[in-house]
Amino acid sequence: DGGITQSPKYLFRKEGQNVTLSCEQNLNHDAMYWYRQDPGQGLRLIYYSQIVNDFQKGDIAEGYSVSREKKESFPLTVTSAQKNPTAFYLCASSIDAPGTSAIDEQFFGPGTRLTVL
Amino acid sequence: QKEVEQNSGPLSVPEGAIASLNCTYSDRVSQSFFWYRQYSGKSPELIMSIYSNGDKEDGRFTAQLNKASQYVSLLIRDSQPSDSATYLCAVNTNGGTSYGKLTFGQGTILTVHP
């Protein structure tokens, strides 16, 4: 079964703690993304990566870090510098087609709900 | 000014009616437009993508795009209670390049009542 998996489904963090959210895909997609969703709001882009060992900041990257050591994996670390981390975190992937004018569709994992205690 | 705007609703329609969801965007060079459905507590699911002016139909869903008016809409025919969800509009606002920087609207809550 091809798809995007995220773990854990629920995560609780204490103040001052770093936590890492996992995202894995077996769709052979080139591009991967991390979004944050707050209640009643749309999605905001945290980081994205188009190829292995390269990633770019999105609109709200402060307090977050990522790595892209393998094509299949794009983990997100929420650091203690992120002052309001409680949110629903969504990972997505797309085929991506550099040089074309059309955007490839993004597909989402099931999400991780992070709560700060 | 928000880059992608949707009426947050809630929009309530009776079962069997047509639900009309609207979205406006500010970046004139945007080329790719998407509608996602999100059930409560779940992740977004892509239901329609549209790239050219006009209508695109897929089953009970029709996406309409008017680039001159910077407007994209989603029509759901024969609405069912199972269509009750939040519908997110997403637009490529990265200057029309191929890279996946989508900007999302805040979503419209749709309720279909029996």
Higher-scoring residue by pLDDT: B25, A95: B25
Contact A48 B96 (CB under 8 A): no
Which of A94, A100, A109 faces B43 most closely, judged by CB atoms?
A109
> What pLDDT sits at residue B102?
87
Q: Look at A17-21, B7-11, B59-63 and tell me which has the smallest mean pLDDT.
A: B7-11
Nearest CA in chain B to A103: B98
Residue-wise pLDDT for B10-21, tens only, equals 999 999 999 999
The verdict on a CB contact (< 8 Å) between B44 and A108 is yes
In which order are the strands placed within the sheet that holds A4-7? Answer: A4-7, A19-25, A76-78, A64-66
Helix (H, G, I), strand (E, B), or coil: what is residue B82? Answer: helix
Question: Are residues B31 and A48, on separate chains, in Cβ contact within 8 Å?
Answer: no
CB spacing of A45 vs B101 below 8 angstroms = yes
User: How many helices (DSSP H) and strands (DSSP E) are in chain A?
Assistant: 0, 11
pLDDT band at A37 (very low <50, low <70, confident <90, very high): very high
**b/e per residue, B29-64, with b = 16+ CB within 10 A?**
ebbbbbbbbbeeeebbebbbbbeeeeeeeeeebbbb
